[in-house]
């Protein structure tokens, strides 16, 4: 049995699976469950402190996503403007 086609399919699958993780929560946020984190800080669910904690986590997540998008865009622009460098 020739294993080259099988290896090519496995390799292609691995490459494509890496693309699926692009829009997941950035690692900088921690990826923790917001509810568990805010409850773990001693905030009762529904309290003003709990609501503020959830809002803060949303702001942190959105900022981390915006930074990642900006870095990706800057890298693309750099690559377009400097085609002589690999």
pLDDT at 5: 72
Per-residue pLDDT tens for 6-54?
Answer: 666 766 666 666 555 555 555 444 557 999 999 999 999 999 999 999 9
Is the pTM value of this prediction over 0.75? Answer: no
The DSSP H or E segment spanning 42 is none
> Quick one: tokens of 41?
């800080």
Cα 69 to Cα 13: distance, rounded to the nearest angstrom: 25
CB 65 within 8 A of CB 26: yes
pLDDT at 58: 95
């Amino acid at each position: 049995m020739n294993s080259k086609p099988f290896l090519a399919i496995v390799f292609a699958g691995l490459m494509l699976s890496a693309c699926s993780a692009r829009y997941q929560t950035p690692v900088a946020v921690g990826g923790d469950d917001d509810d568990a984190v805010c409850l773990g800080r001693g905030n009762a669910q529904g309290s003003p402190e709990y609501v503020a904690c959830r809002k803060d986590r949303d702001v942190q997540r959105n900022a981390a996503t915006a930074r990642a998008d900006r870095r990706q865009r800057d890298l693309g622009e750099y690559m377009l403007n400097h085609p002589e460098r690999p």
